[in-house]
Structures are given as structure tokens and as C-alpha cells.
Structure 1
Amino acid sequence: MTISATLRRALLFLLITPIVTLLACTSSEGTQKKSTPPSTGKGVPRMTTYPIGRFAIDVPAEMKLVHQWQRLRYAEIEEFAWSGSVPRERARDEAWKKRLTEIGKLTPPKGKERVIIETRDFPGVGAWARGILFYGNRMSPKDGNWLILMDVGQTAAWLELKGLVQYEQDMLHDLTEIAKSYQARRFGDLKLPPGNWFYTEHGVINLPYLEQETAAARFEGHPLGLEIDIETTEIHKEEAENHGLIGRTTAVIVTGYATGIDIKRIRSRTRVVTGLKGDEEVDRMDDGTRSVLSFAWRFAGRKDSGEHPKILITMECADGHLEEKLQIWDAVLNSLKPMYGTGR
């Protein structure tokens, strides 16, 4: 389903925030552990659990995880699985050389002959690890990036931290701490000993919240046209009163911001999800050519908290099958749970 430009404008006004957990339903098989009985076409659908950052959520089992991204303590973490078609040693060597070549083609800042500052190995980190420090901004010789490729068995991870070259040792210390705290996770394994767990797609990191923490994932593929994007992140400023989801929706309706769009509320209320009091909004939006259902639940978050980040879960769908979609929506919301602290 393609949402028209006017409908999209209204949805973006309501939902765009710097910190979101997004469930979008628009227009095909899950992977982790099953949490509910098989679907019979009625009632609670068959769901699959996915850990994302410090939380886990269930999505319909027909869906596939197509991308997961995370940032921990300012470091961006990107994972991938070895293809298996070539020996692992060769695969990681090729991956490293490819990235090294890409970096080498960057334009160094004025006054610097090369963009690459340093490369080095990291004994004792994963099965193998190698890193590079390079100028990350051609406009400034002060900006540098540390990038580490880490082999952790069947998968690998790129860890990248951006900062000032003068603090490159501090950057390296922080990035190495994350790398040493990372461990590969078997597919579907959600049972870990007590710890400060932060889940990635292929692994888990045992570090407490410090700052700048984000986790995001995208799922696609469902008979009803579901697409799911989920993101959680911390906030550094408390939200002003009436700036929540219900307040935003009311403002759009009252002010007529979404010109030409008829918005009918189906649900508009506060709703507690996993102990977090947030706003729930379910609306039908019609611009005269297309009608969509927009589901949303939003928790404003608590300042500088990894356990209570700002969260937004939304679901956008073509109109129709409302009761079935409400059942799916409720199952998703009711499944949200924290994964930090005691382990599961």
C-alpha cells in the first residue's frame, strides 16, 4: 500500500520524534522463539519474539527481520553473517580490505596527506579483531573515526566511534570496552544470566546504560501488509505537557493542519504497557482517494534513562479488517517487555 502525500504529511507530523519504537503496517517468516499458539484466523495471532536493545517485542510470525541497527555509548554497531561460501579467514580479510580501500578513497582534510591515521590489531577481542583510525571529516583535521572489524564466530561486527582526534585514545578505550563486552548469541536464545544486557541482531553486550543508546529494527512481510520498524533511545530533556501523541493528534484535528484529510478517532486514551504509561491513538484517515488506519502508542521516556527510553510504536495500514488488526495491535503492545537486569 502506498500512502498518499497528504496522508503521509499528517502521519509524519504526528509521529516523527528523535526517539521512536515504530511498528508500521502498510501493504511476508519470523525467526526467534514462538510466544503464542498458532493462528486460526481469529483471536491472538501466532507471534515471534525479537530482542532489540534492552527490550523485546513480539511480531506476527509471518514477518521477517530485514534490518537491525543499534548505537551504544555513541558507538554504531553493524553486524553481518559470514556467507560460508569461502573460508572465514579469507572472508574477513576480504571484508577488511574492501573497507580499507573505501576509506582510502576519502578526501583527507586540508593539511593532511592521507586520510588513514593508524591501523592496528586487537589481540584478545573476539576470535580476531582489527581497527583503523581515520579522518572522518574532510573539512576538519580535528575529527576522527575509530572503526573495528570483529570476528565473533559465525558472525562479525563493525564497531565505529566518531570523535576528536586529540581524544583518540579515550575513543579507543571506550570502543574496546564495548568490543570486549560483546558476545555472539545463538539464534533465538533469550535466556541469559543476570546482567546489563543490550541485544543486537546476532549478539548481546553486557554493559549498563551510560549515554547515547539507540536500537532499531525493521520487519516486513505479512498477509495484511504489515511493515514494522522499531526504535528505542534515551532522552535528555523532559517533554512539555500536552506534547504527547494525544495532544499532537488533537492539535492536527483542531487546527486543520492536515488540510483535506478527514480524521476519525477509534481509540484515544492513556495505556500502560509493561508498566510504562503512554498515549494510545488509533485513527482512520481519509484524504478522499485513500483511507488508512493509523495505530500508535507512545511513551515519552524519562531523562537519561536506559531502562525507560522514549518509545513510540505505530502501525499504519490500508483500511479494512479493523478487528483483526486491533487484535494484532494489542498482541504486539502486550508483548513489550524489558530484557535488562535479571536476564530472561
Structure 2
Amino acid sequence: MTISATLRRALLFLLITPIVTLLACTSSEGTQKKSTPPSTGKGVPRMTTYPIGRFAIDVPAEMKLVHQWQRLRYAEIEEFAWPGSVPRAQARDEAWKRRLAEIGKLTPPKGKERVIIETRDFPGVGAWARGVFYYGDYMIAKEIHFDVLFDAGMSGVWMKIHGISKEAMEKNLVNISRSYQPRRFGDLKLPPGNWFYTERGAINLPYLEQETAAARFEGHPLGLEIDIETTETHKVEEAGLIKKTMAAMATGFATGLNIDKIRSRKKTVAGLDGEEEVLRMNDGNKTVLNFAWEYRGRKDSGEYPEIRITMDSADGKLEQKLQVWDAVLNSLKPMYGTGR
């Protein structure tokens, strides 16, 4: 299902764009259409649980995880399965050489003869680990990028960070790498701790700063696409999801776009007081359904980050889709603290 450009801009506006300056144009919440009652729960689909960051969520079993992205303490974490067709040592060597070849194509900053600054091994990190310091931005000579590849057993893990201090970046990545534990699919029973879940593992470190986890699911027979993102916020937005929708309609942003509110209400999920919107949107060419729940978070918090869950599809079979949406939304739960 491809959403037209007009509809996509509207969805991005409602879910991402801060609109504090537009709120004066909105009408009162009492003018909203009556919210649709919750689904009965009959025919709730078979679900699969996915841990994402410090939370877990259920999605229909037919759907596939197409992408998961995470960042912890400034480090981007990328995992992959080792190929079973070649020996592990060969697979590591090939992955390492591919990355060095990519880095080698970059342009060094003015005054620097080469992009790569240093490569070396890191004993005690996984079964094997190697890192490379390099200039990742030819416009900024002071900024250094640092990538580490380590063998976590069941998977390979890349951790990437950039900054100005080699020593600080090395200390940070080594600390994260040594706190990493590989995890089999579906395994949520880890020892008690401060777990941050990645796609193929988990990291036992408490929240510090710069923490994000996001995932996208596709492949449902009803044409559903589901996204979830959790990220710490340094400033809690004043406008919630409901007021964003009202502002879009009141300010003429949605000119030429017909928006029908199916649900528009406060909704507490996993003890978090958020807001839910289910909209039918038509731009004259295509009609789509957009399901969204947003929690604005607490300032600088890992346990209470900003959370957005969305589900999109073409129009049709609304009741079935509401059942899926309710099952997804009501499954959200925190995973921090107990290793549940």
C-alpha cells in the first residue's frame, strides 16, 4: 500500500511536527466527534511478542519485522546473522574488509592525507573484536568516527559512534559491547537487570542519554504496516496528538484533504497516559486509514520515553483492523528492571 504524497505529509505533520505556534487557531476539544467504542475483542489475531528497546509489543504473527534500529548512549547498534556457508573466521574477515572498503571511498578532511586513522583488535570483547577510527565527514576534521565489529556468537554486531575523543569513544563502546548478551528469537527470560533489547540481543545498562529504538512490521493479509518508536525527549511537547490533528484541520494544512475521525481520545497504555487517533483520510485520489497512539514522555527518561505507535492501511474492513490495532496497542509493556 503506497500512500500518496499529500496523505504522507499529513501523517508526518500529525505525528512529528511540533505545532505549539499553531494551537491558538484550534477549536475546543468538545467539538470532536464521539469516539468509537473499543472493539469487543472477538477474533483477536494470533500475536508474536517483539522486545524493542526497554519495551515489548505484540504484532500479528503473519507480519514480519523488516527493520529494527537502535541507539544507546550515542552508539548506533546494527546486528546481522553470520552466514552458515563459510567458517566464522572467514565471515568475520569478509565483513571487516567490506566495511574498510566502504570507509576507504570517503574523502579525508582538508589537511589529512588519509581517511583511516587507526585499526586494532579489542581483546575481551565477545569472541573477537576489531575497531577502526576514521574521518567520516570531510567537512569536520576534528570529528572522529569509530566503528567496532565483534563476534557475539549467534550474531555479528556493529557498533558505531562519533565524537572528538578517541579515548572516550573507545571506553563507551567497549563498555556497551561487554554488556551485550545475544538472544534467541522469542527469548525474553533474561536475568534481572537494566535490559535494553536489540533485534538479536540485549544490553544490560541503565538509561544514561541518547537512547532510541524503532521497528517496522509489514506483510499482513489486510495490508497493514506497523511502526513503533521510543526515544528520550529533552523537551516534552505541549501539544498532544489530538491537538495536532485539530491544528492541521483548523489552519488549512489539510486543504484538499478530507479527514474523518473514527476515534479521538485519551488512552492509557501500559500505565502511560497517551492519546489515540484513528483517522480515515482522503485526498481525492486515495483513501487510507491511520491508527496512532502517542505518549509524550518525561524529560530525559529511559523508563518514560516519548513513544509513538502507528498502523496504516488502505481503507476497508475497519472492524477487523480495529481488533488488530487494539490487540497491538494493549500489548505494550515495559521490559526494564526485571528481565521479564
TM-score by length of 1: 0.90
Following TM superposition, by how much is the alpha carbon of 1:17 offset from its aligned partner in structure 2, in angstroms?
5.2
Which residue does the alignment assign to 1:233?
Answer: 231
CA separation in 1, counterparts of 2:116 and 2:251? Answer: 53
Which residue does the alignment assign to 1:211?
Answer: 209
CA separation in 2, counterparts of 1:219 and 1:315? Answer: 9
1:198-277 pair list within 5 angstroms: 198-240=196-238, 243-277=239-273
CA separation in 1, counterparts of 2:145 and 2:262? Answer: 48
Following TM superposition, by how much is the alpha carbon of 1:256 offset from its aligned partner in structure 2, in angstroms?
2.5
Matched, 1:163 2:169: no
Which residue does the alignment assign to 1:80?
Answer: 80
- After superposition, the C-alpha distances for 1:76-122 in whole angstroms (9 at most, x for unaligned) are 00000011110011000111111112212221111111111111111
CA separation in 1, counterparts of 2:308 and 2:276? Answer: 10
CA separation in 1, counterparts of 2:312 and 2:16? Answer: 14
Which residue does the alignment assign to 2:305?
Answer: 309
CA separation in 2, counterparts of 1:64 and 1:120? Answer: 37
CA separation in 2, counterparts of 1:319 and 1:98? Answer: 44
CA separation in 2, counterparts of 1:114 and 1:287? Answer: 51
SS at match of 1:248: helix
CA separation in 2, counterparts of 1:12 and 1:81? Answer: 33
CA separation in 1, counterparts of 2:273 and 2:83? Answer: 43
Matched, 1:16 2:16: yes
Following TM superposition, by how much is the alpha carbon of 1:238 offset from its aligned partner in structure 2, in angstroms?
2.2
Which residue does the alignment assign to 2:149?
Answer: 149
Following TM superposition, by how much is the alpha carbon of 1:284 offset from its aligned partner in structure 2, in angstroms?
1.2
CA separation in 1, counterparts of 2:264 and 2:98? Answer: 51
CA separation in 1, counterparts of 2:134 and 2:293? Answer: 41
Which shows bigger deviation, 226-235 or 267-276? 226-235
TM-score by length of 2: 0.91
Following TM superposition, by how much is the alpha carbon of 1:316 offset from its aligned partner in structure 2, in angstroms?
1.6
Task: Count matched residues.
Answer: 318
Following TM superposition, by how much is the alpha carbon of 1:42 offset from its aligned partner in structure 2, in angstroms?
5.1
Runs ≥4 residues deviating over 6 A: none
CA separation in 2, counterparts of 1:184 and 1:334? Answer: 28
Which residue does the alignment assign to 2:109?
Answer: 109
- After superposition, the C-alpha distances for 1:269-296 in whole angstroms (9 at most, x for unaligned) are 1000000000111111122222211111
CA separation in 1, counterparts of 2:302 and 2:126? Answer: 26
RMSD: 1.4
CA separation in 2, counterparts of 1:104 and 1:54? Answer: 36
Which residue does the alignment assign to 1:174?
Answer: 172
SS at match of 1:257: coil
**Which residue of 289, 294, 297 corresponds with 2:290?**
294
1:50-69 pair list within 5 angstroms: 50-69=50-69
Segments of 5+ residues of structure 2 without an aligned counterpart are 19-40
CA separation in 1, counterparts of 2:285 and 2:122? Answer: 58
SS at match of 2:214: strand
Identical pairs, percent? 75
